[in-house]
Structure 1
Amino acid sequence: MPSVRFLLLALVPVFAGCQMFSSEPEPIVVPAVRMQGELSAVDNRLQFRPCQEQRRFILDDSAGTGLLQESVALLNHGKGTLFADLQGRLVASKVPGNDGQIDLTRLYRIQNQGQSCNDLNFKRLTLRASGHEPDWVINANSKGLILERPNQEALVLPYLEEQLPEGRFSLSSDANGQHLELWVAPQRCVDSMSGAVQHLSAELRLDGKIMRGCAYYGGARQD
């Protein structure tokens, strides 16, 4: 009986080795990266050229971000190229004349106006929100926020961020004798003046007055 037990124990590494060699390799998951660049329509396809690059990629909206529909609407009412801020996975493409394909996972914004690739503040921002009637802009980073309005001095404030259910959050401040709240929700938002599409809706409450607008994550925010 001891010899049988010894034989069984000796075979354990053999079985384990067979199982190891017979298992299929784990599929390689390509991480999604955030990119900004120029978007255009070429041969009935959307083509993307990252900022400061010459490479061109075909876009595949397999995640259903709505980029195709949004882009067609803006291209029909503006110039032949758009600025796009998106997230996706770089993969090989069979379409000739391109350097690859981007499988879209998220659309942050598309627009036909603005600083686009020349926005030097983008990488330092965590959030940018804006609205109209009246016009207002909030730029936020890890140290504080700046509220800018026409014919008024810029308001620089510290803030507290509160995370809320369903991906919503708020920025609030009671500094300098003014009560400010910015409520942000993950909801497609169209700028009423430019037609730009952004991935967040925003509501600014300042001293009892409510102003609505759109927002997007800056380059310093990763979620």
Structure 2
Amino acid sequence: MLKRSLLVLLLAGGGISQAQEPARVFRGNFIASAKGLMMSPCRSGERLIVEDATPQRQLETLYRELTQRPGRAIFMELTGSRNGRMVRATRLHRAYAEGPGCREDLDAVQLRANGTEPFWHLDARRDAVLMRRPGTEPAERFPAAVLERRGSEWVYEGASGQSVLRLAVREAACRDAMTGGHYTLSVSIERDGRKLAGCAYWGDYERPR
């Protein structure tokens, strides 16, 4: 009832326009409360109402899983269409309570991936693919290449010196073993015959749509 009243007030006051914007990616701080779902996008400072139109209506459930303290914001990335002060969320990409959040710079990154057991980190950037592991500094550098779509996966293959790297990304739910963060991309890596697995997400450089 409270949510409906809030929507009525926004409509009456012109808070929600009649022109819906094209779908795009939103990143920001997300809260689920008695007043409904709210999001403050990175770099804007606005507070937007979120309508959960994701396939499983999972936003509030995921929020409850990730936060230990009601009213605390978590970071969320989703695709949605904005209409005034409302965002109709149609697809979730990632969500976590612990991490860089809005401080993360993804301008030159096409894909970012992380894994544990052992720990590793990979950036597919516009100029190179960089892979970092504890005790291996600087990062291993592989040639830049656009990820190719092959069936249900995005694939990269590259070589540097005596090392060969194969990367495959697919749409599948993934949980970060350290933070509990939720991602919708899973990644498998094979480097010189050794296989690694982890979670991934798209950056802003040539992001697949």
Deviation at 1:127, TM superposition (A): 0.2
Give 1:49 shift.
0.3
Aligned residues: 188
1:58-73 to structure 2, matched below 5 A, reads: 58-64=49-55, 66-73=58-65
Which has the larger helix fraction? 1
The one-letter code sitting in structure 2 at the alignment partner of 1:173 is G
Residue pairs, 1:132-151, within 5 angstroms = 132-151=116-135
Q: How does 1:82-97 map to 2 (within 5 A)?
A: 82-92=74-84
Which sections of structure 1, spanning at least 5 residues, go unmatched? 1-26, 93-99
Structure 1 or 2: larger strand share?
A: 2
In structure 2, the residue matched to 1:195 is: 180
The residue that corresponds to 1:104 in the other structure is: 89
Deviation by residue 1:176-220 (Cα, 9 ceiling, x = unmatched): 110111110011111111011112000111111111100000012
Code of the residue aligned with 2:186 in structure 1: it is S
What CA distance in whole angstroms lies between the structure 2 residues aligned with 1:45 and 1:190? 26
Residue by residue, what CA displacement relative to the aligned partner does 1:122-178 show, whole Å, maximum 9, x if unpaired? Answer: 121100011000000101122221101111121011144331113x11111122110
> In 1, are the aligned partners of 2:54 and 2:92 still within 8 Å (CA)?
no
Whole-Å Cα distance in 2 between the matches of residues 106 and 159 of structure 1? 29
Quote the Cα distance in structure 1 between the aligned partners of 2:167 and 2:144.
10
Whether contact under 8 Å (1:182, 1:204) holds in the other structure is yes
Q: What is the Cα-based RMSD across aligned positions, in Å?
A: 2.1
- Equivalent residues in 2 for 1:183-222, closer than 5 Å: 183-220=168-205, 221-222=207-208
Counterpart residue type for residue 164 of structure 1:
R
Q: Does 1:35 align with 2:21?
A: no
Partner of residue 123, structure 1: 107
Which string of whole-angstrom CA distances, capped at 9 and with x for unpartnered residues, describes residues 35-71 of structure 1? 2111112325221001122211121111325222222
Counterpart of 2:149 (choices 163, 169, 173) is 163
- Secondary structure of the residue aligned to 1:54 is coil
Cross-structure match for 2:73? 81
Using a 3 Å threshold, how does the CA distance of structure 1 residues 60 and 79 change in structure 2: closer, same or farther?
closer
Q: Runs of at least 4 residues of structure 1 off by over 3 A?
A: 27-30, 76-79
The structure-2 alpha-carbon separation of the partners of 1:177 and 1:187, relative to structure 1 and needing over 3 Å to count, comes to same
- Relative to 1, partners in 2 of residues 1:82 and 1:211: Cα closer, same or farther, differing over 3 Å? same
1:42–1:69 distance in 2 versus 1, CA, 3 Å: closer
Unaligned runs of 5+ in 2: 1-17
Q: Which has the larger Rg? A: 1
Checking the alignment, whether the CA contact within 8 Å between 2:108 and 2:125 is kept in structure 1 is yes
Q: State the secondary structure of the residue aligned to 1:117.
A: helix
Identical-residue share of aligned pairs (%):
28
Distance in 2, matches of 1:79 and 1:111, equals 15
